[in-house]
């Protein structure tokens, strides 16, 4: 009965890793998926995560019961504090409901399904370009997806006017997906002043912000600075949604741990919203997994672990920032034609190089460097050892 099933293409991001794994070359380099690597090119298990896991293992009262549908209560409370700020009036007034979800993707999907069922406007505007999974998540959640201008390939920066124009002509009440920081794939973020203008425009048109926060702490090294965009929207008392992921900032990729928060106008609305979120989650996966959320909660509630986490997070962010400088310097030293200053200007895990799909294919075939076809490279996958190889490949791709 399944012989007529048509083979689906690999995922544009995760498929890069599949291709990389098949390559036998000793020089192969995976700059596709956004996953942090050490200077030695190895995945990093944070020391603070090891300590938290040890504490969990030593806890004799530990059990493996089902979590409630909405997840671990401590985790939810602490996650809301992390993104909105400990002194957030929305939290103090109990206007926020937070549910533990399967990392960023699961949080976006649960939020999308909730909106499709209970929100009056079914259109979600996503930036052009955006993370390849966004349109699929929201379409399958039952929303209709449109794009707003975001990136200007000529300046390799923000198309702020285009963004304001498109949001300005969106129907009143439309949902708008915003990357809280370190926009994926471009590495281009609005300034705080620009965020304030975006907020004013969106509030004046009753557009509903849905933040995707996958990189808090990863962009600048500061957890507070990377949540500023979200916080200015919450400070005005209005509603918003936020999806959080702990994949990158705690290196908990495979634990699939994240949270969806919905900020409401009143505590009563928040508790009703939560009751409906449970109806979305229960038939989807019943309740979320325990282990990753226990690690996160242990780190967030212990000041010693929390401090160690911020140091390790800053070290990861700093290493990525130094890779930007090294790659830029290497291209300058080679005299590679073109302006490469965007490599140091863009922030977060990715550089949107401007290389086209033919150049990417050339670099994969000739240099065994793997990256997505849109020319995005994961700076977190690069090290001082591999910068020269990448610079050689870019130089050859551009001059060849």
**Which has the closest alpha carbon to 143: 180, 176, 168?**
176
Give the Cα separation of 175 and 193 in Å (integer): 22
13 contributes a contact to ligand LMR by CB under 6 A: yes
Is 189 part of the annotated catalytic residue set? no
Toward ligand LMR, which CB reaches closer, 219 or 264? 219
Q: What are phi and psi of 360, to 5 degrees?
A: -65, -45
Toward ligand LMR, which CB reaches closer, 148 or 253? 253
| Touching ligand LMR, residues 169-188 (CB under 6 A) | 184
**Which residue number has the CB closest to ligand LMR?**
34
Compute the least distance from the CB of residue 311 to ligand LMR, in Å: 24
Compute the least distance from the CB of residue 30 to ligand LMR, in Å: 11
> What mask of x and - would describe binding to ligand LMR in positions 184 to 213, judged by CB under 6 A?
x-----------------------------
Q: How many helices (H) and strands (E) does the chain have?
A: 15, 13
29, 34, 67, 300: which one contacts ligand LMR (CB under 6 A)? 34
The secondary structure of 274-315 as a DSSP string is HHHHHHHHHHHHSS--SHHHHHHHHHHH-HHHHHHHHHHHHH
Toward ligand LMR, which CB reaches closer, 219 or 305? 219
Give the Cα separation of 355 and 376 in Å (integer): 8
Angle at 129 (CA atoms; ends 128, 134), nearest 5 degrees? 95
Helix, strand, coil in percent for the chain, rounding step 5: 50, 15, 40
Number of residues engaging ligand LMR in binding (CB under 6 A): 5
**Which has the closest alpha carbon to 187: 10, 16, 343?**
343
Exactly one of 212, 309, 340, 374 is catalytic; which is it? 212
Is 212 part of the annotated catalytic residue set? yes
Give the Cα separation of 78 and 100 in Å (integer): 11
131 contributes a contact to ligand LMR by CB under 6 A: yes
Exactly one of 195, 248, 309, 340 is catalytic; which is it? 248
**Which has the closest alpha carbon to 323: 381, 397, 251?**
381
Compute the least distance from the CB of residue 57 to ligand LMR, in Å: 28
Give the Cα separation of 267 and 114 in Å (integer): 18
Compute the least distance from the CB of residue 372 to ligand LMR, in Å: 8
107 contributes a contact to ligand LMR by CB under 6 A: no
218 contributes a contact to ligand LMR by CB under 6 A: no
Toward ligand LMR, which CB reaches closer, 131 or 211? 131
Compute the least distance from the CB of residue 94 to ligand LMR, in Å: 32
Exactly one of 131, 195, 309, 340 is catalytic; which is it? 131
**Which has the closest alpha carbon to 184: 245, 106, 102, 255?**
245
Give the Cα separation of 365 and 376 in Å (integer): 17
Give the Cα separation of 19 and 253 in Å (integer): 20
Compute the least distance from the CB of residue 145 to ligand LMR, in Å: 17
Compute the least distance from the CB of residue 13 to ligand LMR, in Å: 4
| Touching ligand LMR, residues 37-96 (CB under 6 A) | none
Instruction: Say what the alpha-carbon torsion angle 129, 324, 210, 263 is, to the nearest 10 degrees.
Output: 180
Is 309 part of the annotated catalytic residue set? no
Toward ligand LMR, which CB reaches closer, 97 or 103? 103
Secondary structure class of 324 (helix, strand, coil): helix
29, 30, 31, 33: which one contacts ligand LMR (CB under 6 A)? 33
Which residues of the shown chain bind ligand LMR in the complex (CB under 6 A)? Answer: 13, 33-34, 131, 184
Question: Which are the catalytic amino acids?
Answer: 131, 212, 248
């Amino acid at each position: 009965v399944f012989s007529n099933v048509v083979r689906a293409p690999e995922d544009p991001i995760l498929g890069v890793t599949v291709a990389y794994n098949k390559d036998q070359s000793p020089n192969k380099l995976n700059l596709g998926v956004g996953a942090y690597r050490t200077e030695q090119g190895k995945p990093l298990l944070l020391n603070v995560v090891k300590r938290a896991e040890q504490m969990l293992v030593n806890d004799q009262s530990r059990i493996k019961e089902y979590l409630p549908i909405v997840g671990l209560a401590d985790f939810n409370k602490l996650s809301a504090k992390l993104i909105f700020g400990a002194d957030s009036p929305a939290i103090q007034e109990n206007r926020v409901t937070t549910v533990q979800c399967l990392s960023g993707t699961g949080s976006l999907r649960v939020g999308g399904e909730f909106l499709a069922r209970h929100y009056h406007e079914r259109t979600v505007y996503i930036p052009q370009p955006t993370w390849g999974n966004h349109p699929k998540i929201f379409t399958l959640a039952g929303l209709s997806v449109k794009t707003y201008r975001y990136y200007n390939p000529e300046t390799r920066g923000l198309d702020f006017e285009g963004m304001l124009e498109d949001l300005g002509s969106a129907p009143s009440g439309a949902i708008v997906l915003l990357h809280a920081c370190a926009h994926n794939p471009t590495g281009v973020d609005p300034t705080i002043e620009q965020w304030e203008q975006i907020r004013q425009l969106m509030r004046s048109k009753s557009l509903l912000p849905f933040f995707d926060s996958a990189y808090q702490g990863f962009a600048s090294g500061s957890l507070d600075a990377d949540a500023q965009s979200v916080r200015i929207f919450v400070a005005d008392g209005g509603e918003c949604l936020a999806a959080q992921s702990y994949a990158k900032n705690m290196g908990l990729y495979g634990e699939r741990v994240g949270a969806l928060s919905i900020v409401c106008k009143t505590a009563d609305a928040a508790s009703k919203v939560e009751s409906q979120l449970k109806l979305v989650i229960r038939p989807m996966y019943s309740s979320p997994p325990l282990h990753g959320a226990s690690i996160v909660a242990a780190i967030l509630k212990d000041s010693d672990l929390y401090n160690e986490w911020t140091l390790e997070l800053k070290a990861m962010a700093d290493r990525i920032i130094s890779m930007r400088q090294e790659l830029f310097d290497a291209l300058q030293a080679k005299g590679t034609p073109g302006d490469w200053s965007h490599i140091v200007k863009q922030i977060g895990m990715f550089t949107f190089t401007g290389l086209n799909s033919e150049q990417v294919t050339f670099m994969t075939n000739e240099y065994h460097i793997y990256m997505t076809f849109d020319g995005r490279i994961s700076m977190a996958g690069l090290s001082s050892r591999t910068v020269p190889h990448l610079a050689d490949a870019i130089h050859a791709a551009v001059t060849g």
